Amino acid sequence: MSAGSDPEPVEGEAEVVACDTGPGNALIDDWVLRHGLGRFDAGGALAAAGRVDDTALAALLAHPYFSRPAPKSLDRDAFDPAPVAALSPENGAATLTAFTAESVARVVPHLPAPPLRWLVCGGGRHNATLMAMLADRLGVPVEPADLVGWDGDALEAQAFGYLAVRSRLGLPLSLPATTGVPEPMRGGVFHPVA
């Protein structure tokens, strides 16, 4: 091992499995914004007032992304929200929230073992309807990341800060086990402030 490189895997270490589970809150946020009801479903109140449309949910879940094993990655625009287009704001929010929860649940068969607990960061942890749907679909505790001392609002920014440091050190940002790249890949361009 040379200075500045990642350590070699240790015998018996846990296998790294990483992938996007689906759109997260993106489609819910876009839906709420499109209907002029704010930037997100505050507390999950809009979804709680609606009913899941099973036909629209099935159409959303028919996306081939869900049958592919990890590693895999996607963009928020990979999913076409057309199946919910004719629904009321409440029913659309409920259906998209169920889609988000189900997309997370669909990653479990691709994991070495089912997680015994899920920690949620970002805005989704403030959405009571989504948190309840996740707990129902996953069948284990689903809790805000803040319960273990992590800042649930800053965790993603902290992750990108970590990647920025790795980039500056010339270390890989993407690995075959995380995104499916053929070999560990460096990335990023440093732009110093003038």
Strand-pair partners of 144: 120
What percentage of the chain exceeds 90 in pLDDT?
A: 68
Q: Apex CA 178: angle with CA 176 and CA 183, to 5°?
A: 20
Q: What is the mean pLDDT of residues 15-40?
A: 91
- pLDDT band at residue 7 under the 50/70/90 scheme: very low
Q: How confident is the model at residue 8 (pLDDT cuts 50, 70, 90)?
A: low
pLDDT class for 178, splitting at 50, 70, 90? Answer: confident
Collapsing DSSP states into helix, strand and coil, what is residue 45? helix
At 11, is the pLDDT very low, low, confident or very high (cuts 50, 70, 90)?
A: low
Tell me which architecture the domain covering 26-148 has in CATH. 2-Layer Sandwich (3.30)
Q: State mean pLDDT over 17-26.
A: 88
What integer is the mean pLDDT of 25-44? 97
From 2-6, 89-93, 128-132, the region with the lowest mean pLDDT:
2-6
Q: What value does the mean pLDDT take over residues 65-70?
A: 86
Domain ranges of the chain: 26-148, 154-194
Residue 113 has pLDDT above 70, yes or no: yes
